[in-house]
Homo-oligomer: A and B are copies of this chain.
Amino acid sequence: MQKDIGHRAVRVGIVGASGAVGEEFLALLGEAALLLSEVRLYASERSAGRKVAVGGGVVEISVLSPGCFEGLDIVFFSAGKHISRQWAPEAVRAGAWAIDNSSAFRMDPSVPLVIPGVNDSALDACESPCIVAVPNCSTIVALVAVTPLHRIARVSRMVISTYQAVSGAGAAAMRELEAQAHDYAHGRPLKSPIFGRPCLFNCFSHNSAIGESGYNEEEAKLLHETRKIWSDSEVRVTATCVRVPVLRAHCEAISLEFASPLSPEAAREALANSPGIKIVDDRAANAFPEPIAAAGRDPVLVGRIRGDWSLAPGMGLSLFVAGDQIRIGAALTGLNIARAILRRSRVPT
């Protein structure tokens, strides 16, 4: 029996409230027309006690403790997979939905992996509050752009190269890149405690562990999460994930192969009519998606839409996309999951 939280003010918890994604989630909550009756913020001991302006009031950040989720409707987790693994089940036991931005539960067959607008129906599996996983940022940015085309022509294979902002590695990584620009300008040596290599004026393979296959975890997520989100165990995905000296917003060059033909014109029309997408594709002005234009904004920017001339006509298409990976790639998708849950809770199950 699902609690009816659609008709009343919502009580929300944020775990990882002092992190880049947690702060963004809190900011988005303020913008969203959600009636909130309570917000509780959780972070590590380092941030505990800090007071944060929320709506009209002030909320003090606390540490997680047994029973801390009692009375909440929705708890958003963005404090790493270890915290999620331990505490998300606690939130569910306390009767709350746990929206988890970590990788802890994404591939758990019993946990829906959801991008609202892409696969909302995955929430059907939850008859009562449960854990819902937010996909990895690169997957979200890719699938918001590609799913409208997949629905028409079925994507059989994707080749993806990413241009990922440092913010994917957290707020401290953004500060590291900013500090490197300052040090460079003042003729000081660059310090790289987080990445272990200069990020300014450099790019490098994504800093996640590499498996037997030679693919790193970030690349493997693009395959496995896409298959789960599309409920399509056949789709093939190969990716190369690369960090670039960008503060915020990921770009991806995506080459699609289709099972049935789709013209660039039909693709453009489908994309223009899809939520969460803004087409930026002005060939004459050479104006296409850029991370600084995507940063701090909701839509995934999609451009460089062109038929793939290395495939039979209509059977392939290339795109270049940019999306703010803290926003649509994490916090906004988490908030949209919360909205979808609230919409659904209005309907008796």
User: Chain A residues in contact with chain B, CB under 8 A?
Assistant: 157-159, 161, 163, 177, 181-182, 184-186, 197-198, 200-205, 207, 210, 213-215, 223, 236-238, 240, 242, 244-247, 251, 253, 255, 264, 283-284, 286, 288, 290-292, 303-311, 316, 318, 320
Query: Which chain B residue lies CB-closest to A182?
Result: B185
**Further 12 A-B residue pairs, CB within 8 A, beyond A161-B253, A181-B200, A240-B318:** A163-B203, A163-B242, A181-B184, A201-B245, A204-B288, A213-B306, A213-B309, A223-B310, A238-B318, A240-B304, A242-B320, A245-B246
**Docked complex Cα distance between A198 and B304 (Å):** 19
Taking CB atoms, residues of chain B closer than 8 Å to A181 are: 181, 184-185, 200
User: Are B202 and A309 in contact (CB-based, < 8 A)?
Assistant: no
User: Are A202 and B291 in contact (CB-based, < 8 A)?
Assistant: yes
Decide if the interface of chain A is mainly helix, strand, loop or mixed.
mixed
**Docked complex Cα distance between A117 and B106 (Å):** 48
User: Are A203 and B291 in contact (CB-based, < 8 A)?
Assistant: yes
User: Are A290 and B213 in contact (CB-based, < 8 A)?
Assistant: no
Taking CB atoms, residues of chain B closer than 8 Å to A186 are: 185
Taking CB atoms, residues of chain B closer than 8 Å to A286 are: 205, 207, 210
**Docked complex Cα distance between A204 and B244 (Å):** 12
Tell which of A177, A245, A307 has the most Cβ of chain B within 10 Å: A245
User: Are A242 and B238 in contact (CB-based, < 8 A)?
Assistant: no
User: Are B255 and A251 in contact (CB-based, < 8 A)?
Assistant: no
Contact of A161 among B240, B303, B310, B311 (CB under 8 A): B240
Contact of A214 among B214, B242, B245, B305 (CB under 8 A): B305
Contact of A213 among B161, B163, B307, B311 (CB under 8 A): B307
CB A175 to nearest CB in B, in angstroms, measures 13
CB A217 to nearest CB in B, in angstroms, measures 11
Contact of A245 among B213, B236, B244 (CB under 8 A): B244
